[in-house]
Amino acid sequence: MNYPVNEIFETIQGEGAKTGVPSIFIRLQGCPVGCSWCDTKHTWELNDNEKVSVENIINISNASSMWAELDEISLLARLKHYSAKHVVITGGEPCLYDLRPLTETLNKNGYTSQIETSGTFEIFTDNSTYVTVSPKVGMKGGFKVLQSAINRADEIKHPIATEQHIEDLKALLKLRNSLDDVCVCLQPISQKPRATELAIHHCIKNNWRLSVQMHKYLSID
């Protein structure tokens, strides 16, 4: 399976339940969801004329829309240059692609894997992969969050700024068969004070977890 890779870099996971875990990020190119607050809009379009060699996307974080095509074996070889053993597959929207070949390869070779998805596309991944669904409701692309994605999630990390976002989350949680085995996180959009206050209030009220995008506060990738 060939994947359009926008960048590969090593850092600390800054969001959700795995905050603080040393991680290798594989960012895939392409996303039709259209979140207005997206901080990686350069990954939205997959243009053939921006395909480059892999050397142009390794450890380069310059908000470029360039991408390189790599299969799971080539990606595995690249990961051996890093120390971290946890791999986060993000985007863009990584579930545009069948992630089973990649996640199965990672998990068979001593890595743990995690994907971060909007939940608007079917999730095809290894059973042991940790799935973070950050549900995107009412976005420009017009895609609906899938019940199958909500049920597959190990973690539901919901971006919020208003009370309506809380209501949207509660409606999505009703789609899930059980809430006993899922971590629910609230993530304030753009670290705005009002959104943060709202998130803290509802985390305490509902016994949810706060996700504050630590990497942005620390000014790291």
Taking the C-alpha atoms of residue 17 and residue 220, their distance in angstroms, rounded to an integer, is 18
Which CA distances in Å does 49 have to 30, 40, 61, 178, 198?
Answer: 14, 19, 20, 45, 43
Q: Where are the alpha helices (DSSP H) in the chain?
A: 72-79, 100-108, 147-152, 163-173, 193-206, 214-217
168 annotated ligand-binding residue? no
Phi-psi region of 110 (alpha: psi -120 to 50; beta: other; left: phi over 0): left
90 annotated ligand-binding residue? yes
Q: Which residue has the tokens 């290798």?
A: 24
Locate 138 and state its tokens: 């009412």
143: Cβ contacts below 8 Å, ≥ 6 apart: 32, 33, 118, 120, 121, 136
12 annotated ligand-binding residue? yes
65 annotated ligand-binding residue? no
38 annotated ligand-binding residue? yes
13 annotated ligand-binding residue? yes
135 annotated ligand-binding residue? yes
126 annotated ligand-binding residue? no
27 annotated ligand-binding residue? yes
144 annotated ligand-binding residue? no
37 annotated ligand-binding residue? yes
35 annotated ligand-binding residue? yes
136 annotated ligand-binding residue? yes
Of 37, 69, 64, give the one whose Cα is nearest residue 53: 69
- Binding annotation for Mg(2+): 40
- Binding annotation: 12-14, 27, 31, 35, 37-40, 90, 92, 134-136
- Binding annotation for S-adenosyl-L-methionine: 37-39, 92, 134-136
- Binding annotation for [4Fe-4S] cluster: 31, 35, 38
- Binding annotation for substrate: 12-14, 27, 90
